[in-house]
Amino acid sequence: MLTTNADYLQKMLAANKGNWPDLEGLLRDIYVAHLNAGDIAVDVGVNHGTHLFQIAEAVGETGKVIGVEAVPAHCRSVREAMAGPYARLAPRIQLFECAVSAKEGRAEFFVSQINDGGLSGLKFRPVLNNTAVEQIGVDVKTLDSLVPPDIAVKFMKIDIEGAEYDALRGATKLLEKRPVVAFEFDNSAPESFGYTVKDFFALFAHYNLAVYDLFGFPMRSADDMIATPIWNFIAAPSEMDADALTAPARRTIDRDVFRR
């Protein structure tokens, strides 16, 4: 029996010849199982819309997904898809072209030309060294200004290259409804954005949201987040069964990696 996330990850990597599985696909498995028709979800850091369109499928015709993306080229790509192959999903999608943070205004944004623009963000982080970067000006909004206060968001995915903490500081009304929040975190982000991992961890605790890795192992402290080699996390209401929430990801690993 696997008792720690380190044990689980070690055995998983060994079984997968040292390679990480498709973590984005595992995240998809979780939110597809978690969301139902009529739910409301938020996708912060839409990129080209891979998760946006899958979330829109999951919430059905009566649901809604609010997408946020700062890179103009990515927004154009998503709008073209909404007018073309994903036209049937367009009525349930609302896309905002802006960055998000704790305060509104204007800011410089660094658009990366590598990783399909996926490393773009509000700070020039070390990962962007020696890469082609375009600096542009963007509008900055708070999530609370974009998400109507009278709706309860059931799920939010946020992947904005280190700016997650500041974005969540601007989402107090949203977080008071205590959605499940899927987020990425790497140890270099706090220094670039001027916060600590303890700050980030405490923000979730303030809303009584417990933090887990993508496979459901609890992160009991900021030190646990730092120590784990995985970069995908889930914050969920503390009373929620995290094992059940993340079970779809483990089932995929059992099938595709452990081949049980």
The beta strand positions in 12-128, using DSSP E, are 40-44, 64-69, 93-97, 99-100, 105-112
Domains and CATH numbers, the chain: 5-96+143-256 (3.40.50.150)
Phi, psi dihedral angles at 227 (to 5 degrees): -75, -30
pTM (2 decimals)? 0.94
- Tell me the C-alpha to C-alpha distance, in Å, between residue 212 and each of 24, 183, 204, 247: 16, 10, 11, 12
Residue 19, classed as helix, strand or coil, is coil
The Cα 139–Cα 69 span in angstroms is: 11
Report pLDDT for 92.
98
In sequence order, the β-bridge partners of residue 64 are 40
**Per-residue confidence in pLDDT tens, the chain, 260 aa:** 446 788 899 999 999 999 999 999 999 999 999 999 999 999 999 999 999 999 999 999 999 999 999 999 999 999 999 999 999 999 999 999 999 999 999 999 988 887 777 788 898 887 777 778 889 999 999 999 999 999 999 999 999 988 999 999 999 999 999 999 999 998 888 888 999 999 999 999 999 999 999 999 999 999 999 999 899 999 999 999 999 999 999 999 999 999 87
Rounded Cα–Cα distance for residues 233 and 244 (Å): 15
The amino acid present at 233, given as its one-letter code, is F
